Structure 1
């Protein structure tokens, strides 16, 4: 199958660098919710992203933790309460993710208008 678009990014391409960190079907969505909520629990994120399975959410969260985009904190309570929040480095993605959200809203409005 031939890709629809061909990008000629040389090594070190800034777009490629960004995508390496936020690529993954749910990573940008997770970051978006953490921008909105600041701190979130696994169950809350799971409810906010209904198309994402628990396993996939856990995998995407772990990759974001490994890349130092988000911080996972366990609170010693019974049952254990785990929270997720953006790291200072993760917060630098805020303008990128909000720009994606703005573009998506415009696209959704245009697409809804053409469906009428």
Structure 2
């Protein structure tokens, strides 16, 4: 009984705090100058959005994927002492073959070539 009333009181207090924070944080007016991009007080001469290299993005994504897969290989060193040697070799070699297959596929697709 005490737990139910305590949880109800906590729920009511948190709901009241959320409602008060929402009411207090409301902006009363929107200014055109405040919502426009700021560039040293001058109007921007060009677009604020500059294009970036899609090739750089692909290289970054490939790096992240292979980096995560390398971190999956690190615990295998610790489990080497506790598992059977044959199963350890099969699991590790299968994982490395899959990694190398993905790397070969990316290389053949031309995703690793930087210059066009």
Larger Rg: 2
Structure showing the higher strand proportion among its residues: 1
TM-score (norm 2): 0.27
Structure showing the higher helix proportion among its residues: 2
TM-score (norm 1): 0.27
